[in-house]
Amino acid sequence: MAKIEGVCREVCEASEYVAIVTNGPDGPHLAGHWGNYMRIVEPGEVAVFPVGRFQRTEQNLRADDRIQLMVASRKVQGTRSPGQGCVIAGAGEVLAEGEYVDLVREKFPWARGALVVRVESVSTQL
């Protein structure tokens, strides 16, 4: 299993928002989240978000668990210039109970559940 570590972890910590792509019956579905709402656990192998809405994302993941996240920040140095972006791909599911839901509810008591992404690959873009 791949891990969110090194430069990609720095980008996750600095990213203002996260773009979240799943596969729906009509094609790709794009959702978003705040970067500082993402929790990286199981040292870097799992990313967890609090979920309020995300109904379509949840539906999509039930049929096809592939998910991609994009994070980016100008504050992290890229290969040639300031700014780095990372794509995190993996398998996702929305859980309504369990340790990850308890984790997100510590800070976000409104969460109906947790979007859990098990990381399979991590790549930089810049």
Ligand X SMILES: Cc1cc2nc3c(=O)[nH]c(=O)nc-3n(C[C@H](O)[C@H](O)[C@H](O)COP(=O)(O)O)c2cc1C
Query: Rule CB under 6 A: is residue 28 a binding residue for ligand X?
Result: no
Query: Rule CB under 6 A: is residue 37 a binding residue for ligand X?
Result: yes
- How many residues comprise the chain? 126
Residues 43 and 21: beta-carbon distance below 8 Å: no
Query: Rule CB under 6 A: is residue 55 a binding residue for ligand X?
Result: yes
**Residue (4 or 21) nearer to ligand X, CB:** 21
Query: Rule CB under 6 A: is residue 53 a binding residue for ligand X?
Result: yes
Q: Which residues of 88-126 are buried (b: 16+ CB within 10 A; e: fewer)?
A: bbbebbbbeeeebbebbeeeeeebebbbbbbbeebeeee
DSSP state of 123: E
Q: Choose one: 4-12, 52-60, 88-96, 97-105; the region binding ligand X (CB under 6 A).
A: 52-60
- According to DSSP, the β-strands at 46-51 and 17-24 are unpaired
Which residue minimizes CB distance to ligand X? Answer: 32
**Residue (76 or 104) nearer to ligand X, CB:** 104
Query: Rule CB under 6 A: is residue 57 a binding residue for ligand X?
Result: yes
Where on the chain is the footprint of ligand X (CB under 6 A)? 17, 31-34, 37, 51-57
